[in-house]
């Protein structure tokens, strides 16, 4: 091809930009939008089964509306639509969870999309962003700890144990339950330390109940203090195990 032939051929074609069909519906997933228009958008996005559609549908979990039956139906529709995207939805769910004030629906979605091991490891990643100091909104942290109670995983104890020192009582309570669920006697020492220090009757009862059910042995130098700290229905026997008192 000569020089003049190059000029005759015209400008090089621009690269094609991949369109995002979900974008036209995303702005309708708002509380201020009419019910019919919002529900039409949810249905359209749910049928796409893409990561972009999942990202848009997640917005439906940021608000509540009346009547509650409509609110629940729309959220269920959004939930099913997100699941249609399969594992492509995990990244949008992860991004949403990073800033959400409630993780009830993201946790529910994740549980459907991932196998047990992936599910727990993802929850542990979410939990790693939280610390044990005072925060105004702690519901997401507590929801993660509660979700982990139903699972055993080698990474749970190392990540959850620090929440025994959380300033938030529900976080401490669910951290105790999650550690007990791991059936690892290595948690005896930190649980006993919390028993000696925690002012929450609910937390101390949960520790006592859990240690008694598992017959884990309290260290000799902590037994007298543990007897004093235990709820009145429990004591520590001669072998260092928490037991229920005889009636």
Tell me if 45 sits within 8 A of 81, measured CB to CB.
yes
Proportion of the chain in helix, strand, coil states, percent, rounded to 5: 65, 5, 35
Q: Three-state DSSP class for 236?
A: strand
CA distance 207 to 145: 16
Predicted local distance difference test score (pLDDT) of residue 85:
97
Predicted local distance difference test score (pLDDT) of residue 20:
86
Report domain extents, the chain: 22-96
| Among 237, 241, 239, 242, CA closest to 206 | 242
Mean pLDDT, 10 residues at a time, the chain of 247 residues = 47 57 94 96 97 97 95 98 97 96 97 97 97 91 97 97 98 98 98 98 98 98 97 97 92
Residue 197, Cβ neighbours under 10 Å: how many? Answer: 13
Tokens of 138: 């702690």
* Owner of token pair 């400008």: 11
Predicted local distance difference test score (pLDDT) of residue 74:
97
Predicted local distance difference test score (pLDDT) of residue 12:
55
Cα dist from 47 to 20, 77, 81, whole Å:
14, 10, 7
| 139-148 helix and 104-113 helix, angle to the nearest 10 degrees | 30
* Owner of token pair 């608000």: 63
């Amino acid at each position: 091809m000569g020089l003049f032939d190059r000029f005759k051929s015209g400008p090089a074609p621009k690269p094609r930009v991949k369109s995002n069909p979900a974008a036209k519906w995303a702005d309708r997933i708002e509380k201020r939008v009419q019910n019919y228009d919002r529900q039409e958008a949810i249905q359209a996005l749910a049928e796409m089964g893409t990561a972009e559609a999942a990202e848009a549908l997640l917005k439906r979990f940021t608000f509540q509306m009346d009547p509650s039956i409509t609110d629940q139906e729309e959220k269920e529709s959004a939930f099913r639509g997100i699941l249609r995207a399969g594992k492509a939805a995990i990244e949008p769910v992860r991004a949403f969870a990073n800033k959400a004030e409630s993780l009830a629906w993201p946790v529910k979605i994740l549980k459907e999309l991932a196998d047990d091991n992936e599910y727990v490891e993802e929850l542990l990643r979410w939990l790693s962003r939280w610390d044990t100091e005072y925060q105004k909104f702690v519901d997401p942290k507590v929801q993660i700890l509660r979700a982990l109670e139903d699972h055993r995983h080698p990474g749970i104890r190392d990540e959850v144990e620090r929440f025994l020192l959380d300033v938030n009582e529900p976080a401490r309570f669910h951290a105790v339950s999650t550690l007990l669920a791991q059936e690892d006697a290595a948690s005896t020492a930190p649980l006993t330390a919390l028993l000696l220090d925690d002012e929450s009757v609910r937390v101390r009862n949960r520790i006592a109940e859990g240690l008694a059910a598992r017959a884990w042995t309290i260290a000799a130098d902590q037994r007298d203090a543990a007897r004093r700290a235990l709820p009145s229905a429990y004591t520590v026997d001669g072998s260092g195990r928490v037991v229920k008192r005889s009636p």
